[in-house]
Structure 1
Amino acid sequence: MTAFILVAGAHTGGWVWREVAAGLRDAGARAYEVTLSGMDGGGGAERPGVDLETHIEELVRLIDRVEERDVVLVGHCYGIHPVRGAADRRSERISRIVNVDVGIPEDGDPALKLVPDQTDRERVLSLAQKDSAGTLSAPSVEEWQRWGSVAGLPAEALARLTEQAVPQPLPTLTQPLRLSGAVAALPTTGVLCTANGSSIAVVETMVALGDPAFQALADPGVTFFELDTGHWPMLSAPRELVDVLLRAAAGKGHRVAAVRQQPTHLRPFLMDVEERPRERTGRVDLHLPDADGPRPAVVLVHGGPVPAGARPTPRDWPAFVGYAQYAASLGAVGVTVDHRLHELTAYGRAADDIAEAIELVRADPRVDGDRVALWFLSAGGLLAADWLAAPPSWLRCVAASYPILAPLPGWGLADGRFRPVAAVRGAGRLPIVLTRVGLERPEIAVTVEEFVSAAADCGAAIEVIDVPLGHHGFETIDPTDESRDAVRRAMRSVLGHLGAGTD
Structure 2
Amino acid sequence: MRTPATASTRITAFNSSTPSDCWVYVKSPRPRLWQNTAVRGARRSPSWKGATKLATYVLVHGAWHGGWCWRRVAPALRAKGHEVYTPTLTGLGERSHLLTPQVGLDTHVEDVINVFEYEDLREAVLVGHSYGGLVITGAVASLAHRVSHLVYLDAFVPADGDSLFSLIGGPRPEYLADWKLEPISTFGVTDPEDVAWLKAKMTPHPRKAMSDPVKVARPVESYPFRRTYVLAAGQPMRAFPATAERLRANPAWKVIDLPTGHDMMVTMADELTSILLEAAR
Q: Fold match, TM over 0.5?
A: yes
Q: CA deviation at 1:182?
A: 5.8
Q: Which residue, 222, 239, 251 being the options, matches 2:270?
A: 239
- Please point out which of 129, 137, 144 is paired with 2:179: 137
* 1:229 correspondence with 2:260: yes
Aligned to 2:104: 51
Matches of 1:101 and 1:10, distance apart in 2: 12
Q: Hey, what's the Cα distance between the residues in 1 that align with 2:244 and 2:94?
A: 41
Q: Which structure 2 residues correspond to residues 29-428 of structure 1 after superposition, within 5 A?
A: 29-44=82-97, 46-115=99-168, 121-123=171-173, 136-140=178-182, 142=183, 144-146=184-186, 148-150=187-189, 153-181=190-218, 183-186=220-223, 187-197=226-236, 206=245, 214=246, 217-250=248-281
Shift of 1:99: 0.6
d(CA) in 2 for partners of 1:204 and 1:162?
28
SS at match of 1:56: helix
Change (3 A) 1:180 1:40: same
State the Cα deviation string for residues 217-246 of structure 1 (Å, max 9, x = none).
444431122212111111111111100111
Code of the aligned partner of 2:204: P
> Could you tell which deviates more after superposition, 40-49 or 188-197?
40-49
Which amino acid counterpart does residue 188 of structure 1 have in structure 2? R
Residues in 2 aligned to 1:204 and 1:10: alpha-carbon distance in whole angstroms: 18
Contact map agreement 1:112 1:174 (CA 8 A) in 2: yes
SS of corresponding position for 1:49 = coil
CA distance in 1, matches of 2:95, 2:156: 30
- Counting aligned pairs with the same residue, the percent is 30
Encode CA deviations 1:257-293: one digit per residue, 9 max, x unaligned.
xxxxxxxxxxxxxxxxxxxxxxxxxxxxxxxxxxxxx
2:110 partner amino acid: E
Query: Residue type matched to 2:123 in 1?
Result: D
Secondary structure, aligned partner of 2:93: coil
Coordinate RMSD, CA, aligned = 2.6
Confirm or deny: 8 A CA contact 2:92 2:99 kept in the other structure: no
Task: Supply the distance in 2 between the matched residues of 1:155 and 1:222 (Cα, whole angstroms).
Answer: 36
Looking at secondary structure, tell me which structure has more helix per residue: 1
Cα offset for 1:163? Answer: 1.0
Separation in 2 of the partners of 1:231 and 1:104?
Answer: 15
Q: How far apart are the structure 2 equivalents of 1:28 and 1:195?
A: 31
Larger radius of gyration: 1
Q: Which one scores higher on RCO, CA 8 angstroms, separation ≥ 6?
A: 2
Instruction: Tell me if the contact between 1:136 and 1:168 (Cα under 8 Å) persists in the aligned partners.
Output: no
Aligned residue number for residue 42 of structure 2: none
2:57 pairs with 1:4: yes
CA contact (8 A) 1:14 1:33 kept: yes
Cα distance in structure 2, aligned partners of 1:168 and 1:96: 27
Secondary structure at the residue paired with 1:90? helix
Unmatched runs of 5 consecutive residues or more in structure 2: 1-53
1: CA distance, partners of 2:243 / 2:63: 28
- Structure 2 CA distance for aligned equivalents of residues 222 and 155 of structure 1: 36
Q: Which amino acid aligns with 1:20?
A: V
Distance in 1 separating the partners of 2:215 and 2:94: 27
Query: How far apart, CA to CA, are the structure 2 residues paired with 1:46 and 1:13?
Result: 13
C-alpha distance 43-100 of structure 1, shift in aligned 2 (>3 A)? closer
Structure 1's 30 and 224: CA in aligned 2 closer, same or farther, altered over 3 A? Answer: same
The whole-number CA distance in structure 2 between the counterparts of 1:66 and 1:185 is: 26
Q: Secondary structure at the match of 2:171?
A: helix
Aligned equivalents of 1:56 and 1:204: distance in 2? 22
Deviation string, structure 1 residues 5-47 (Cα, Å, up to 9, x no partner):
0011111100000110001111221110110100025543542
Q: TM-score, normalised by structure 2?
A: 0.71
Asked if structure 1 preserves the Cα contact closer than 8 Å seen for 2:248 and 2:255, the reply is no
Q: Is the 8 A contact 1:191 1:225 kept in 2?
A: yes
Q: Give the direction of change, closer, same or farther, for the CA distance of 1:124–1:177 in structure 2 (3 Å limit).
A: farther
Flag structure 1 segments of 5+ consecutive residues without an equivalent.
128-134, 207-213, 251-503
d(CA) in 2 for partners of 1:43, 1:27: 31
| Deviates most, 9-18 or 87-96 | 87-96
Does the CA-based 8 Å contact 1:39-1:167 persist in structure 2?
yes
* Alignment check: 8 A CA contact 2:133 2:155 kept: yes
The letter for the 1-side match of 2:70 is: W
Which residue type is aligned with residue 195 of structure 1? G
**Structure 2: which amino acid aligns with 1:240?**
E
Q: Distance in 2 between matches of 1:195 and 1:94?
A: 29
> Which letter does structure 1 place at the counterpart of 2:269?
P
